[in-house]
Structure 1
Amino acid sequence: MPEGAGQHVIADGRRTNPTALRLHVVLNKLSAPPLRRGLVDRPRVVDRIASAADVPVVLLSAPPGYGKTTALALWRRSDERPFAWLSLESADDDAVELTRGVATALDPIVGIDQELVAELAGPDPRLADRVLPRLANAWARSERPLILVLDDLHVVRDPATLYVVDYLAQHVPPHSQLALATRTDPALGLAGMRMHGRLLEVRAADLAYEDDEAVDALAAAGVDLTADQVRRLIVRTEGWPAAIYLAALSLRGRADPARYLEHFAGTNRHVADVLSEDVLQRQPDDVVAFLLRTSILEDLTPSLCDAVTGGDRATETLRDLERSNLFVVPLDESRTAYRYHHLFAEYLRAELNRREPELITELHRRAWRWYAEHHLTARAVEHARTSGDVTVAADLVASRFPALYERGQTDTAQTFLADLDADTVEEQAPLALAAAWLAAMTGDTSGAHRLIDAARGGTWDGPMPDGTSSLESALAIATATIGGHGVTRMEEAANTAVRLETAQNHWRGLALTLQGAALTLRGMDDEAELSLAAAVPMTPEQSATHAYALANLGLLRLHRGDLEAALHYARTAHRIIDCPTMRTYTPSVLTYALLARVLTEYRRDHDAEQAIDGAEAILPHASDAFWWLLAMARLLLVPSLMTLNRPDDAHRHLDEVQRLIGQHSDVGRLAQWHTDARTRISSALPSARPGAPSAQPGAPLSTAEKRVLRLLRTDLTLREIGRELHLSVNTVKTHTHAIYRKLDVSTRSEAVQAARARTRVVGNGRTATEPVRDDAKR
């Protein structure tokens, strides 16, 4: 094992992982659950997995209670290869957090480079082009093959986070495997993996108990049934292991199991009846109180349980519950954390609500205090919200929003506000502002302005929870960004924010960036450049604000004809945004558009097309709240599109600019820029660059068009072709129309036939294309 890798002993004797501490990964998530006494062996399932040792991806997909995690733990016991284990939770539905967890899980086995750990610990690591390739290389260099387990993958839904899983699935080293346990099929291109023999699937039908396994489960619980009774239980539960386990517990000591089985079914209602009558009622009062009062928690650690219950014996109680097989599942081998079986937890919460409803608020209040003290914000917010401590939840949420926005994690931000009603949000100024940003990012422009007005009507003393110097400054920054009152008002608001944000920090950097953007729109380029140059060193280097400031500086250099400097700024900004969370983030559109514009000037058409695709992946979903930014980006794209002989797309963007600026009376230079662009492209073909490919009938197809044509022969839709070629659907449409014009056809099938007629076979098996001769047409 490489030096520095692995675990280290800390003061209280527990073992920990230094990378976990540095990346703030909860240690309990990194251990496979221990195999409890009386566990039913699953040789049929384990043998099936073991027989596919060279299949890169193993998918266990089934509803809860089918023993997916248990099957993985049994496989781990029988396989000589080391296992890197990561149990996921909702907070891991974030590309950066998931990557940090994977790196931490792999580190004790492969020895992750500390430089990579440092980058992951930073505010916005570049996943796509740096972190993930280096992580995959570290895995590939491992001296021994290993199995990487991602348990509870169903909590991952965000496309950017799934990209991380997909990247790992595509880069599994030989003789290693990636094991995924989930309740729902992940969006990972399973069909392609299946077709290429890269996927082993273990589903509910594979995990369901057969008769002999049900007999073993019953025997482990001290229950002896006839073969017919076992078969009836299997039929009633459809082999669902959790329901059979619950039935076994309730069957202990029953004189007439046949009668009980007549009334047992694998439904939640019947399971709850079993738990009520035959499990909870048999426990002493102190155990029942502990079970009910800790049922509000997702994870059970002794410290947290003592904080919630007010006791001091949680360690002993949790171990007693585990020994009694009372639905307590250990989360690590050292028994420092547990959870309740999901069905059992649901039942306990219902019982708590029935027996001690007056305690629920206080229990959640104790929980959020513990989580806040331990800097676990997401859990603290959840319990503060449930306890009705809205001000606390507002402060916690507002403090997290800026970091989430800078990383492009709007989905994560949205989860914080999902369960708060509108009145609650609007009554809290920090929360109203956070919600305004979210509304603007998700397309609710009127909602964003309403929320800003609600925040303006509130009061707040001193610095805001997000770090801005005051409510007035936070409102000015929001107003300058969401330019609903025109360019002049944007500049005034930005000036206010610059005046109020006196500290040399990222908030002043953002205020200066907004000031520079507003000055650019007003035609004050010299003043704009001064503001933007001052902003750059104050903004975090891997943040969206930093990239946006650089792109604006590049735009000013482009206006002055300094292509070399414009390209430098565009490429530097692009390196920042080229990661899953920021690649589709609205502010990134200016970087893509600027890069495309400069690259076409350098006749780098292929690279320019890719930059255009990046912009056009953002624009259809971008919010009109940032109308001025979208108009600037579209106007930058127009000359590039004309240079690339895409006049239809150029006119489409100009029409969108007309729509955007037509909604506002004060648009600064945008109106003149729009008029100038209309004038320049009044005649489409003469505006094209001399020597650029012609789109007339008989002209040769470009390389990009040939790539599209090859897929036109398939039954893929244009959108699916775009996904295959990493192009936007609009770009695919443009290439398709150009193909039709050049081949002088009007349908897809005619294009395929015409292309075949133009193709001749060269002796060595390569193909070349030439115009169709007149006699060939006949």
Structure 2
Amino acid sequence: MSADPMPARTGLIKRGDLIAVLDRAVEKQVTIISAPAGSGKTSLLRMWAERQGQDRRVAFMSVRPGQQDAQMFWLTLFAAVRSDKDAAPPPTTSGFDGHAMVEKVLSEIRTSGEKPFVLIIDDLHELDFPEAAEQLTSLLIDLPPFAHIVIGTRHDLPLRLPQLRLAGELAEIRAPQLRFTKDEAREVLAAAGITLPDQVADMLHQRTEGWAAGLRLAALSLAGHPDPERFVADFSGSDRTVAEYLMTEMLERQPPGVQRLLLCTSLLDQVNGELADLLTDSTGSERILLDLEDANAFVLSLDPDRTWFRYHHLFSDLLRLELRRTLAGGIPDLHRLAARWFANHDQAADAIRHLQAADAWTEAARLLTDHALSLTLDGRAGTVAALLRAFPAQIGENSPELALVYAIADLNHLRLDGAQAHLDIARSYAATTPPDRQYQLRTALVALDLLVARLGGNLDGVFQQVGELPSPVVGQSNADIAFASDLRAVALLNLGVAEAWSLRLADSEEHLLEGAKLARDIGRPYIEVACRAHLGFASTVHSVALARQRCEEAITLAAEHGWDTEPVIAPAQATLAGILIWTGEFDHGQQWLERARNATDSEGEPGIRLLVHLISAILPAARGRHREALAEFVAAAQVQARMAGEHALTPQVTAWTISTQARLGMIDQARTTLAAVDDRRATTGVIRNAAAAVRLAERDPTGARCELQTVLDGSARVNLHLTLVEAHLLDALACRELGDERAARAAVEQALNLAEPDRLILPFAMTGAWELLEALPTQGTSHAALVADILDAARGGATSGTGRPAPMAEELSPSELRVLRYLPTNLTRPEIAGELTVSLNTVNTHIRRIYAKFGVTGRSSAVQRGRELRLLSTGRT
């Protein structure tokens, strides 16, 4: 045991942030630093104690290994606190009184002066005599105000310090705070003269989990290594230097029963008490795991209730190495036991992994086939693919037992021909399986057939197959009932998506809502997210506001499950982007569009890819970048060309392609594209609008008005509300060309009437008709606020919020919202009343309520609050 500070070791890095943490902690009466062996406790304490220029007296002592002599401990501690280092040490006695020695130490501290004094006691875990905890507690709670004690230990002693904790005089620094950051890990390597690429250094940091000793041992092995990157890739707890350290400092210090538990459970990624009892054929494992975590023995709990645990990566590597060395013949049996436990607890993927590790390939194949669809419906198609890859080559793609699984893997990568071939093999296999498995396999086949039809764009095929689904069988087992519910949820999802892509939006909404509810009821959150991701698009049949709300709800739900970057949520992200662009929030829409692009695989579901390309086209079109828009329209058409059926948005893609070609001056190409439209689609509203755009580009405004006639009189089929707004704007442009300003204003006013409920700004920007609004007198329209928003968006104004602000305490009523939109204008209250055809008293009442709900007292502050809440334009008015 040493009571004198030792010289600081060279090669240590300066951990400024951690030193600052310790600085603050030492202001408390007692500081405990508790962390596993090799965490850098001693290095930190010496670095802190030996800094120059400290206005305090610091004493440092280390407890020797296995210290059982209470008298020797207290005499060494007394020597450490004495201010007179030349005084003779107290003699040893035969009748040592620990409590008297505690009082002697306290007396020495009290008489040493008022200068701040810190005593550091390192390696306190080595203290091993019965009275240690009680005597130390007496010392710690009676320290004078200017004295502080810092304790370094691998595990906590049973010190009773609740009063200090309640008084805020106890500071604790634990293992997570001592872990080296990525930057500090690079500094450790640099101090050893080692330079690694950042990604390799980060890999080493991940493997060591920031454990100081692991990093330093790796640095020692890396010095002079011919292939440092290969070393890091292979670095593990079985590395000789790491293994020796962990064996000596951790494993060999444990009792035989604890060692056996650690070894037998090391083949698990995580363990609980029940599973550990099974693998060790014993009881009491949970208590041991809890004690190991409390002792900082590289065991970490994974949940708040501390029922599941894992081992530090390097410690786990060492344990597996030692298991292979001492119990190699029993490892397959351990894997089988683990597989049985996981299977009985509905954790099929873990059960399959352990069967594979035990070379039980037949059992593993059957279990994977039985659960592959269920795993996929939980959003774990990647897990299914990984499990499939783990099978040996002799169990190939032509294996009947695994054919269903190979079909799922093919569908995950949109290999539809391969999926169909494997499904045919699986159908033959299902017919020969025992009756207790047939229903589940056939249910899985029906669900996958539906997915094949949808992914191939065969929307009619989806409708046909849903209509031919088998009815539930009376007397089904619980498992079969569960599979029937899964099948119905899948059918509702696929039916709703097919209806959405066919613009049967009301039917789509009904079935997607039903599918989402069923998925929630049966515990299939992935299917629920998938249904809700498409629900936003279906909801556009009602209003843009409802569609936006449902997109945001789907995105929030996906984020709760960690699927916010997965393809499953791309439909909601793309639809939300489209809605934001429709309503003039171009920058905000672009942000969501980028997320949708990132979540959409380049070879993913064609219906979603077509939607993403369409939204990607209208954004640059709205900003006047027509050539960029045309490239995206062409890409959308190419996706359609590979679909078995026709996406309902294809006529819109074709129409806007023609209009964009015309606006680029590509009249011949536009005419060619228009001529290729079949007779059935040629009479639709979107194509008639496109034909009018071509006429306008040809300087034929009279012809343009003729093309628009069937749209404006309601005889042409119109699916999207945007089409009618666009038609009136094209008519306004034609009237202007003809010199009929009155008719042009009337057409613009009608477009504003149609656009107002959903605040549709996109048609004004895409057609260029926003320029007509600049000449529109403020008093000549009842849509002054909308006009301001349109002009802001078209001119690049600040209509690009990055998110909704905090809502007000009470929402505005529709009537109050109408009044609010006039407040940014120059209209007086009587003029606003005239525009709205209501009494002045009504306007005054609404304005008072707006002020109250906004918490403001004047018109200008109400306008500002309305802009903050994105109820008003944030630009010119």
Q: TM-score, normalised by structure 1?
A: 0.48
Higher RCO (C-alpha 8 Å, min separation 6): 1
Q: TM-score, normalised by structure 2?
A: 0.43
